Structure 1
Amino acid sequence: MKFKMAEKSLFAILLRSPWWISLAISLAIGLVARALLPPEYFLFGAMGGFPFLVIAVIAAWRQFSAPSTAHVEATLAQIGAMSWRDFSAALGQALGREGFEVRRLDSAAADFELLKAGRTVLLSGKRWKAARLGLEPFQALEAARRARDASSSICVTTGEVTANARQFAVAQQIRVIEGMELAQLLRPVLAAGKS
């Protein structure tokens, strides 16, 4: 089970920020502790910067292992050129690599039923090529989630999600996989297909 951090917490913000910001905060805490505390208490004061050092290491690892913008754009272009049959096969394979049992659905609202650790997730991906994704597919996906009593749902797209649709997705806790996240999900499968 993944630990979910509040998106607006200080640590979540720092994880999304350049790694050196967290390192600078950690060093600043150490310098303040050195300047203001007696030598016998310096170590205790400097330990206040340790969580920021950990955040700096995690952020650096994420940032250095993330694909370049050019690579993401190339992968998204490759995804956009795929037929539904090829895209759905690659998506199913990628989700299988993530530990999901993938079942295809014959539904207008959801294309896959994903099973993992006793949880059922519905996934909609048939409109992955749509330049702009509005409210309707998200409403249909939410209705299908309720009808099938699934625990959550996911929508996959390479296009733009309208503001109303994004607000609805947030309110209904529909996860939107797009951009870099979609490229990273499919990259191993697409790379294996080339070799």
Structure 2
Amino acid sequence: MKLKMSKNSLFAILLRSPWWISMVLVAVFALASGALLPAPYVPFGVMGALPFFVIGIIAAWRQWHAPSPARVAEALGRAGAMSWRDFASAIEQAFGRQGYAVTRLNSAAADFRLVKGERITLVSGKRWKAASHGVDALRDLVAAQAAQGAHQSIYISLGEVTDNARRFAQAQGIELISGNGLAQLISDKNSL
């Protein structure tokens, strides 16, 4: 089960930041607790730093396992050079490795139907090579999601998503996968 958190919450910001920032906050909590609290209460003050410590560990793990910028650029370059058939196969394999049952769709709005347990997700990626992505394709994806009773939608792109499209996607709960996210999705010894 994937928990949703606001992109502007402190913990979400710390997860996107270098791991050591969370660890600095842990040190600040510990030092402030030692300096400001009576000795019997210092352990309780230090325990207030526990969430920041956990976030720091998660951020460090993610950053350690993230592909290097050179690997991201290489994966995106290869994806941009692919035909739709090859790119669709790479996407299908990537979601299959994540445990989804993947069905290709013959639809203008969505290219794949992912099923995992009871959850249905529609994926649109056919326009992945477009230089810029606007709201129109996202509106079509939302309409297809409603028509098929899907729980969520994913939009895949190599190019830039406009600010309006990004706001629309956030308002509609569409996950945008591009850049590092796309490279991580398709970079595997079994794909590309």
Q: Is the pair's TM-score, using the shorter chain for normalization, greater than 0.5?
A: yes
Residue 166 of structure 2 aligns with which residue?
166
Could you tell me whether the CA contact under 8 Å between 2:94 and 2:191 is conserved in 1? no
Partner of 2:54: 54
Show structure 1 runs of 4+ deviating over 4 A: none
How far apart are the structure 2 equivalents of 1:193 and 1:67?
15
Q: Deviations over 1:71-129 (max 9, x none)?
A: 10111001101111111011101111111111111111111111111121111110111
How far is 1:156 from its partner?
0.6
Tell me how many residue pairs correspond in the alignment.
192
Distance in 1 separating the partners of 2:50 and 2:191: 43
1:6 aligns with 2:38: no
Q: Mean alpha-carbon deviation: is it higher for 81-90 or for 161-170?
A: 161-170
Task: State, as a whole percentage, how many aligned pairs show the same letter.
Answer: 55
Task: Give the AA of the match of 1:50.
Answer: L
Structure 2 unaligned runs (5+)?
Answer: none
Distance (Å, rounded) in 2 between the aligned partners of 1:164 and 1:9 = 22
1:193: how far off?
Answer: 5.0
Give the drift of 1:40.
2.4
**What is the TM-score with the length of structure 2 in the denominator?**
0.95
RMSD: 1.3
- Measure, in 1, the Cα distance between the counterparts of 2:19 and 2:65: 13
Take 2:142 and 2:45, find their aligned partners in 1: how far apart are those partners?
A: 49
Show structure 1 runs of 5+ residues with no match: none
Query: TM-score, normalization: structure 1?
Result: 0.93
Secondary structure of the structure 1 residue equivalent to 2:48: helix
Query: How is 1:24-173 mapped onto 2 (pairs within 5 angstroms)?
Result: 24-173=24-173
Q: Equivalents in 2 of 1:127, 1:36: separation in Å?
A: 57
